[in-house]
C-alpha cells in the first residue's frame, strides 16, 4: 500500500514518479552527527573545524545548525535561525536532560557531546558504527528538475516517526565583525539552511514527492532525509540527494 503522508506537517506533492537510486551505498547505516553552533560563540570555531574532518569520514553524515540565541552578544549569526534553536531544544526535551549549549554535537539523534572534544566524539562514532538497529529503515531518494522523491518501505516503528528534509550548503566562509569572535573569518561546513517536516510515518510503505523549489533553497547543493523516532529521536532511516559531500 502506498501512503500519501498528508497528515500534519506534510507538504503537498506532485504525482510524477521518479526512479529511486540507492542512497549511501558505501554504508547501509551511516553515523549521523549534528553540530549546533554559533558565530557568536568563542568556543565554537574548534568544533566547526572538526566538523570538516568528520564530514570527510566514510560512513559519516555531518550536518551543522546555527542557533540564534547568542545573537544578543552583539553579532547576529548570518546563518542562524530560530528553527535550528528549536531543534536543539527539542532534542534536549526528548532526552529529558535539558542540556542545551554550543558547540553541542548529537550522534544518531541520541547522545550529545561537546563538539570540540575529539576523543569523546570519535569514540561515540566508533560505537555507533557497531550498533545494530532492528528497526532501521532502508530509505531511498531521487530528484529531477522539479521534484525530490523519498521512498520509504514498510516497517515496524516503535512509535510514530517524523520524516525531515534538510537542505544544506557544503561550505561558507563568514567574516565576523562583532561579538566574541570579532575579527575572525570562520569556515562552516554542511550548513543546514532549510529544515522541512515532510510527513509522519507509522510503518506503511510510502512515496513522498516534494517540490524542489520549496524545500531546497538556492545555493544548497546537498539535501538529506532523516526519519526519526518521534519528533527528533533516534535516527531510524537516512537517504541523501544532490551532492552530499560525505559518505
Residue 42 half-sphere exposure toward CB, CA atoms < 13 A: 8
Where does the pLDDT of residue 21 fall: very low under 50, low under 70, confident under 90, or very high at 90 and above? very low
Q: In sequence order, what E strands does the chain have?
A: 31-37, 60-66, 104-107, 112-114, 140-143, 147-152, 161-175, 185-201, 206-211, 222-229, 235-242
- Can you tell me the mean pLDDT for 112-136? 94
pLDDT in tens, 173-217: 999 999 999 999 999 999 999 999 999 999 999 999 999 999 999
Between the CA of residue 38 and those of 44, 71, 89, 240, what are the distances in Å? 7, 9, 15, 25
First to last CA, the chain: 31
Helix, strand, or coil (residue 39): coil
| Residue of 241, 243, 244, 216 lying closest to 20 (CA atoms) | 241
pLDDT at 5 over 90: no
- Can you tell me the mean pLDDT for 234-244? 90
pLDDT in tens, 75-89: 999 999 999 999 999
Please state whether the peptide bond connecting residue 52 to the residue before it is cis, i.e. omega within 30 degrees of 0. Answer: no
Query: What per-residue confidence (pLDDT) applies to 244?
Result: 63
Higher-confidence position of 182 and 7 = 182
The residue whose grid cell reads 562552516 is 188
Query: What per-residue confidence (pLDDT) applies to 243?
Result: 80
Beta bridge mates, 35: 64, 105
- CA-CA-CA-CA torsion sign (199, 28, 96, 101): negative
Domain boundaries along the sequence of the chain: 31-242
Amino acid at each position: 500500500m502506498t501512503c500519501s503522508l498528508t497528515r500534519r506537517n506534510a507538504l503537498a506533492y506532485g504525482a510524477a514518479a521518479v526512479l529511486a537510486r540507492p542512497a549511501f551505498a558505501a554504508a547501509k547505516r551511516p553515523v549521523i552527527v549534528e553540530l549546533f553552533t554559533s558565530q557568536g560563540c568563542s568556543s565554537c570555531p574548534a568544533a566547526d573545524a572538526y566538523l570538516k574532518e568528520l564530514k570527510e569520514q566514510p560512513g559519516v553524515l555531518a550536518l551543522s545548525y546555527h542557533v540564534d540565541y547568542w545573537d544578543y552578544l552583539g553579532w547576529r549569526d548570518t546563518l542562524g535561525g530560530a528553527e535550528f534553536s528549536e531543534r536543539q531544544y527539542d532534542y534536549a526535551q526528548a532526552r529529558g536532560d535539558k542540556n542545551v549549549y554550543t558547540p553541542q554535537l548529537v550522534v544518531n539523534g541520541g547522545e550529545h557531546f561537546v563538539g570540540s572534544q575529539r576523543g569523546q566524539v570519535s569514540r561515540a562514532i566508533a560505537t555507533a558504527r557497531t550498533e545494530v538497529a532492528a528497526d532501521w529503515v532502508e530509505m531511498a531518494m531521487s530528484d529531477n528538475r522539479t521534484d525530490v522523491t523519498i521512498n520509504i518501505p514498510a516497517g515496524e516503528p516503535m512509535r510514530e516517526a517524523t520524516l525531515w528534509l534538510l537542505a544544506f550548503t557544503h561550505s561558507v566562509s563568514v567574516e565576523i565583525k562583532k561579538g566574541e569572535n570579532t575579527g575572525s573569518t570562520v569556515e562552516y561546513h554542511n550548513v543546514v539552511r532549510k529544515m522541512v517536516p515532510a510527513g509522519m510515518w507509522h510503518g506503511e510503505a510510502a512515496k513522498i514527492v516534494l517540490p524542489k523549489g520549496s524545500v531546497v533553497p538556492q545555493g544548497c547543493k546537498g539535501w538529506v532525509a532523516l526519519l526519526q523516532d518521534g519528533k527528533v529521536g533516534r535516527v531510524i532511516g537516512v537517504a541523501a540527494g544532490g551532492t552530499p559531500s560525505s559518505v
